[in-house]
Amino acid sequence: MDNKEIAKKLSSLAQLDIDAVHAYKEAIEKVEDLQIRENLTRYREDHERHFSELSAEIRRLGETPPEFSPDFKGYLIQGFTSLRSMTGTEGALKAMHTNEKLTNKTYKEAGSWNLPTDIQTIIDQAYEDERHHLEYIEMKLNK
């Protein structure tokens, strides 16, 4: 895989992280529970960090990272649609569950992309965060 191809793959992850940030912003506004709000805010920050880390790698490869658009890009369309129709903490968690299942699936797949070790490490660490996000949301929905 040449630099351009690697950068393209990293860009697809970065786009997903942009969507996740916007989805968390909308979800957080619907959550009344302070503890859950705090956790979701931390997860939003994780996605912002993943975006920054991926962008730095894309630049190092000589390519341009995706722009951090003020709106979502449509990668998490299903979760966004449900965010708009659902209300309250449970609705927000259900919508984010849909979103996190997709980000987890994508980051998991990225684990088999055979990228250079330093880039793979960044992706593996991000996937760890993703698993944690999904686990927490599932725990809150099941109680």
Q: How far is the CB of 21 from Fe ion (least distance, A)?
A: 10
CA nearest neighbour of 15 among 77, 65, 78: 65
Binding site for Fe ion (CB under 5 A): 100, 103, 130, 133
Question: CA-to-CA distance for 68 and 55, rounded, in angstroms?
Answer: 10
Question: CA-to-CA distance for 94 and 79, rounded, in angstroms?
Answer: 9
Q: How far is the CB of 99 from Fe ion (least distance, A)?
A: 7
Question: Quick check: 72 and 99 in contact, CB under 8 A?
Answer: no
Q: How far is the CB of 1 from Fe ion (least distance, A)?
A: 25
- Nearer of residues 53 and 130 to Fe ion, judged by Cβ: 130
- Nearer of residues 48 and 63 to Fe ion, judged by Cβ: 48
- Nearer of residues 22 and 133 to Fe ion, judged by Cβ: 133
